Structure 1
């Protein structure tokens, strides 16, 4: 129980003034893990303040598409938003290092461990590229898999000539090194693009294939995943500063590394459930043979080398950040 909730239980209700409703923007569908967690968090805030602090969630890009989420908060059109860093390549160069192939903390490669670790180090390394924002928590997806309409991805050669939906410069490079063509498609438009043959596949965690109901368009998925995507749940610092001190304290108590770990656990659970969803729908979940996987890792190594050099060349602490994340 938070200190604020404890005060309520003892009948010591702080003076909050008028009720506060925070407008939350997401670009993912209502059943996505982000909206589930945000709804749960909103209920927690409301219960702890006797209804004085509530969230109004606008899912599915109602307020704007994925690339505009940060700017929606910056402009005041939303108070809180879920930002996909890969949706605006180059805007968050240090954060995007997490999305390099096979980059994980030693404590674990599950979403819970990765999200908690990234949230822990965000104040030291990521505040500058989220200027004007309060980072409520960071989220790192389970590593994205490649999902294909027809081709069996058990070998690297199988990707040659395919068109694959991607988000972010790192995945663009991955797809190009595989000999395929990267095609930018909004997340919500992926199913339509796959069904019409605009693309032959897409890169997503298993969980997203269920959220966007992609199984009917798929024949194969490749596991394990290759590279994760990063998100930030951000709040306008100005909107936070305008809240009563008691509400600020409650937000601080209910966000941060613990919330990141809880969200990651939810995502890990959803990932396992979505894998079952694909299998039950008749999708073949396959793995590369050991030798082929070794070739894949070697093939993708230059992405990491080049990206670290590029970010370091901008005077940014690329290696220090990675040392802190991967330790």
Structure 2
């Protein structure tokens, strides 16, 4: 039946107002579906990046916070990139051994890692700055490093050699010993002591001890076999590897501990980073920086938990007062600092800037 003039005018008015005519609406649905499918098909497949570290795997909110931090980073970046970047995490050196992680980053053979910066000292001596004893002694100093001239110079140096820091992870160190507390450097005389880096080894040797270059995961076994008397480690590692079972005497990590803080950052290969899209680069940088404060809080929590863990193992706990600490800082400046500065002009410049970071 022909439309009346009134009905035709009503329909024309509806169209002019931008309103859909009910009879035409179903016709748009297949087109929209096809367009959505085409857009989905045009999206590139997610890129999978691998993160390696040599610390124990965590479970939920329990376990080594370094593994938990890496997994939080991965989840955050995946969300920020709408799934364009995904990650596989390999704890406990299941992908790359600790000694090869820094080298792998530089060559682009490894995507990301969280490890002691000083692991790169054999290739890049300047990286030993991350473990120079008694250089970073407070949380305020650790927090200031990223934006301080020392941190800026270190980042520039690393990027020039293929590595980029994403999260600055600073950990206070403790000294765990088998036979008795190492409260001052002279207590190390005659002992075999795991140092963890060349600058710390220089200090240990000057104290009359024998420095041992052992990976942190080998400490317990070496102590069990009687080949190691004491170990200088982060508070986090002392807990994760349950060192109280083999070395029940601890000098606490409060206030940075006997040797101060050590730097174990989350890093990405510059070759891998350069291959990311601009939005992905922004997501990676933002997610990494957002974890700085969380890492420091987690490290502090481990330092606070250390005395209780060793007391529960029927061990002894020694706190560092100002009188004891001065022995460590004096020996560190005379040994580890001096040796690091002699490693090259860039090392000397970096140490000078590091010493200027306010406490």
TM normalised by structure 2 equals: 0.76
Partner of 2:57: 30
Determine which of 261, 265, 286 is the counterpart of 1:232.
Answer: 265
Partner of 1:260: 292
**1:167-246 matched pairs, under 5 angstroms:** 167-224=196-253, 225-227=257-259, 228-246=261-279
Determine which of 20, 23, 27 is the counterpart of 2:47.
Answer: 20
Of residues 285-294 and 228-237 in structure 1, the stretch that sits farther from structure 2 once superposed is 285-294
Partner of 1:133: 163
Partner of 2:12: none
Instruction: Return 5+ residue gaps in structure 1 as ranges.
Output: 1-12
Partner of 2:318: 286
How far apart are the structure 1 equivalents of 2:324 and 2:68?
A: 38
How far apart are the structure 1 equivalents of 2:56 and 2:189?
A: 32
The CA RMSD over aligned residues, in Å, is: 2.8
Partner of 1:116: 143
How far apart are the structure 1 equivalents of 2:47 and 2:356?
A: 37
- Assess, with a 3 A threshold, how the Cα gap between structure 1 residues 278 and 326 changes in structure 2: closer, same or farther: same
Partner of 1:69: 101
Show CA shifts across 1:282-322 (max 9, x none): 22111367645444443333125524641564575235522
Are the equivalent residues in 2 in contact too, given 1:164–1:203 (CA < 8 A)? yes
- Assess, with a 3 A threshold, how the Cα gap between structure 1 residues 161 and 19 changes in structure 2: closer, same or farther: same
Residue 192 of structure 1 deviates from its aligned partner by 0.5
How far apart are the structure 1 equivalents of 2:240 and 2:281?
A: 32
Q: Rg bigger for which structure? A: 2
Mapped pair 1:57 → 2:89: yes
Partner of 1:146: 175
Show CA shifts across 1:172-216 (max 9, x none): 012112211111111111110111111011111222111112111
How far apart are the structure 2 equivalents of 1:158 and 1:315?
A: 30
Instruction: Return 5+ residue gaps in structure 2 as ranges.
Output: 1-38, 59-63
Query: Which secondary structure state, in structure 2, belongs to the residue aligned with residue 235 of structure 1?
Result: strand
Residue 326 of structure 1 deviates from its aligned partner by 3.5
Partner of 1:8: none
How far apart are the structure 2 equivalents of 1:59 and 1:269?
A: 21
Are the equivalent residues in 1 in contact too, given 2:129–2:351 (CA < 8 A)? no
- Assess, with a 3 A threshold, how the Cα gap between structure 1 residues 16 and 94 changes in structure 2: closer, same or farther: farther
How far apart are the structure 1 equivalents of 2:203 and 2:162?
A: 32
Of residues 219-228 and 289-298 in structure 1, the stretch that sits farther from structure 2 once superposed is 289-298
How far apart are the structure 2 equivalents of 1:48 and 1:313?
A: 41
TM normalised by structure 1 equals: 0.83
Query: Which secondary structure state, in structure 1, belongs to the residue aligned with residue 291 of structure 2?
Result: helix
- Assess, with a 3 A threshold, how the Cα gap between structure 1 residues 19 and 154 changes in structure 2: closer, same or farther: closer
